[in-house]
Structure 1
Amino acid sequence: MTNDDLRGSVRFESVRKSFGAHVAIRDLSLTIRPGTLVTLLGPSGCGKTTTLRMLAGLEQPTSGRILIGGRDVTALPANERDVSMVFQSYALFPHMSVAENVAYGLRSSGLGRKPATEKAEQGLELVGLAGYGGRLPSELSGGQQQRVAVARALVLEPQVLLLDEPLSNLDARLRRRVRTEIRELQQRLGFTAVYVTHDQEEALAVSDEIVVMRDGEAAQIGAPRDLYEEPASEFIADFIGEANVVACEILGHGAGRARIRIGGYEHEMAARPVPSGAGRLAIRPNAVYLREADGGFGGRVLSAAYLGDHVEYEIETAAGTLFVTDPAVERVRPVGSSVGLGLAERGVAIIPSSPRGGRQVPPQTGRSA
């Protein structure tokens, strides 16, 4: 493979990072293909930001290697790694114009004023801010300021663009719009991006692949659909979306399908090969549908909340208490009423045995905490 083929690729080879006695990253091995957007996702303290900072050259690994474009950059300082970072605070200079902010890195690297200004204007055009170069950052909205920060990083033509919680300072509606803009820009220009967030919905929306991190390790790596529909552990099932995790009996498997029993109710579903016997089942709240009391397996409504486009229920069953979302808002089942429950074809997954990857759920409840 040539250097051109490797440009934009990233590899972590058995990377470990310790801060004194605290191990922040444990033996991380990860390959990021050129031209893809990969998200590091996980709860606070899982190691995602430390991983990004090691890639940026702001932290040094305790052991292992980091390669960018096939080149070992483990010991190189940040300014020699050919990466650019977009910070959650944007880090724009308030006294400089938008164009000056975008051109700042170019000027610092020795490019003349005129070519730097021209490239800055091109960068602003890329992110839909042509004509905004003369304004101050304070004259822009939060979403526009974020796009200026992205333009400033892109004009340096890095092999890899790093984004550290880039939308955390935006309100919910603006977050949705800006994340779409970032994704469309990445796909149009084809650059490699590594994106850090704790927001599961954000990760699902923008990523080619997601690295779900937990306690300094990669708990699961895969495409958004794979992680959502085939979680490798209870932790993944509950972290990527929400899931009820309950005990089940696996009756048999063949031709990519399994038959399971839960609370006396039998259900057939697509599944990876699994042995027969006791198992665990992750059930998405929208994969449970309500029937009359004499259908499916029985339950009793413990709570009901009308939320406009759906109703949220907690339903007590023989398998545990299930959290259920139902789009049938025209009929809200009263608390204390008996209902029958069935399972949809999608949104139900058998959880593989994984001593470290999951967490045990008390038998009296089916919903992961």
Structure 2
Amino acid sequence: MNTPGSVVFQNIRKTFGAFTAIHDLSITIKPGTLVTLLGPSGCGKTTTLRMLAGLEHPSAGRILIGGKDVTMLPANERDVSMVFQSYALFPHMSALQNVAYGLESSGMKLKEARERAEEGLQLVGLAGMGDRLPAELSGGQQQRVAVARALVLEPQVLLLDEPLSNLDARLRRRVRTEIRELQQRLGFTAVYVTHDQDEALAVSDHIIVMKDGRVAQEGAPRQLYEAPASSFIADFMGEANVMSCQVIAIEGEEAMIRLGSLTHKVPKRDVMQAGEAKLAVRPNAITLEPAADAPFGGVISHAAYLGDHVEYEVETEAGRIFVVDQAVDRILPSTTPVSVGFKQRGIAIITN
């Protein structure tokens, strides 16, 4: 592999007629990292990837790859390779021929291209399968052929556009693990686009969550999940209960909050003051105990047993909340009055 490259977007704007798809986007991707662009449909993540690939050009701003300004360069003059959502394999060519195609097209001699293609297939765990046509391979194997075809070109940056969307849930879990292990082993820079939060959490060094053509929040997977900055991030990065609370004191790196008569400490945010606030609470960070009278109480309105956990809906003074409880040996029926408590993790003050 060539030396992995950095990626820098400087004040990128992209318009289509009167519509602005990307607003003043500035991001930096470090060499050798896997960074995911995550967000709902229409948020601008695919447009961002296409601009990086050279399939679209920005209306304003600069794009640098490995320190080189590539803003207006065509796709074939950028040191990137792309794995498409559809894999885009030639159905009449064998796996080996598909992997070698880009090398041969660049002028490499046939023998050397085939040797490099064999190495590429071995790299992704498909040694000995080079003679098979795409139709003779499983979905996961086809996906790995597409990755091998991109990797043998030794790009500074590998781009992956929803690479697992055509696979079933079980295969997606396995293949995302393979992609992550391959990236860590080879150390290449990867920019990965998905709308799947679990996928992003599983594969990424860094996640950039986009909304309406802007960066809503970015950070390490754990940071985004445990310290969402807004109700949008809290709900998009896994379910969250958003409740009104009172910040009654700030002590060092912690803030004391109050819900009803219950007080609880949570991590302090950068900008915080006493007064009204919003609290994001993960469903598995809530505890329930039968109790007729509690500092912060409620009544169970619905209980559902799902094998390894129980899901509850609870009516409280802060509104209806959703709770996931691992205590399957004790299922609390509807109409049970409960005391609502909170664990130390999975709770964060949100700013908007």
Q: TM-score range by the shorter chain?
A: over 0.9
1:245-293 deviations in Å (ceiling 9; x for gaps): 1100001111211110012211122323521111110000000011121
- For 1:49 and 1:166, how far apart are their aligned partners in 2? 12
- For 2:67 and 2:245, how far apart are their aligned partners in 1? 46
1:134-175 deviations in Å (ceiling 9; x for gaps): 111111110010000000000000000000000000000000
The residue aligned with 2:263 is: 266
The answer to whether structure 1 residue 118 and structure 2 residue 111 are counterparts is no
- For 2:23 and 2:267, how far apart are their aligned partners in 1? 34
- For 1:323 and 1:282, how far apart are their aligned partners in 2? 12
- For 1:171 and 1:157, how far apart are their aligned partners in 2? 29
Residue type of the partner of 1:280?
K
Matches within 5 A, 1:162-311: 162-273=159-270, 274-293=272-291, 294-311=293-310
Unaligned runs of 5+ in 2: none
1:298-349 deviations in Å (ceiling 9; x for gaps): 1011111111011111100001110100111112111111111100000000
The residue aligned with 1:365 is: none
The residue aligned with 2:335 is: 336
Matches within 5 A, 1:314-325: 314-325=313-324
CA contact (8 A) 2:13 2:58 kept: yes
CA contact (8 A) 1:248 1:279 kept: yes
- Post-superposition shift, 1:94? 0.8
Residue aligned with 1:59, SS:
coil
Residue type of the partner of 1:320?
G
- For 1:31 and 1:262, how far apart are their aligned partners in 2? 39
CA contact (8 A) 1:296 1:342 kept: no
- Post-superposition shift, 1:296? 4.6
The residue aligned with 1:357 is: none
Residue type of the partner of 2:289?
R
Residue aligned with 1:27, SS:
strand
Residue aligned with 1:29, SS:
strand
- Post-superposition shift, 1:80? 0.3
- Post-superposition shift, 1:114? 0.2
Unaligned runs of 5+ in 1: 355-369
- For 1:99 and 1:296, how far apart are their aligned partners in 2? 66
The residue aligned with 1:46 is: 43
CA contact (8 A) 2:33 2:187 kept: yes
Matches within 5 A, 1:12-161: 12-161=9-158
The answer to whether structure 1 residue 9 and structure 2 residue 31 are counterparts is no
The residue aligned with 2:345 is: 346
CA contact (8 A) 2:266 2:349 kept: no
CA contact (8 A) 1:73 1:81 kept: yes
1:91-121 deviations in Å (ceiling 9; x for gaps): 1111101100000000000001000000000
- For 1:94 and 1:268, how far apart are their aligned partners in 2? 59
- For 2:314 and 2:146, how far apart are their aligned partners in 1? 47
The residue aligned with 1:363 is: none
- For 1:198 and 1:270, how far apart are their aligned partners in 2? 28
1:155-214 deviations in Å (ceiling 9; x for gaps): 000000000000000000000000000000000000000000000000000000000000
- For 2:323 and 2:41, how far apart are their aligned partners in 1? 27
- For 1:190 and 1:105, how far apart are their aligned partners in 2? 22
- For 2:269 and 2:94, how far apart are their aligned partners in 1? 56
CA contact (8 A) 2:243 2:279 kept: yes
- For 2:253 and 2:125, how far apart are their aligned partners in 1? 46
Residue aligned with 1:309, SS:
coil
Residue type of the partner of 1:305?
A
Residue type of the partner of 1:76?
L
Residue aligned with 1:54, SS:
helix
Residue aligned with 1:236, SS:
helix
CA contact (8 A) 1:300 1:338 kept: yes
CA contact (8 A) 2:81 2:158 kept: yes
- For 1:139 and 1:229, how far apart are their aligned partners in 2? 43
- For 1:180 and 1:308, how far apart are their aligned partners in 2? 25
CA contact (8 A) 1:86 1:150 kept: yes
- For 2:175 and 2:221, how far apart are their aligned partners in 1? 19
CA contact (8 A) 1:9 1:192 kept: yes
- For 1:351 and 1:197, how far apart are their aligned partners in 2? 24
Percent identity of paired positions between Structure 1 and Structure 2: 70
- The aligned length equals 349
Residue aligned with 1:194, SS:
strand
Residue aligned with 2:164, SS:
coil
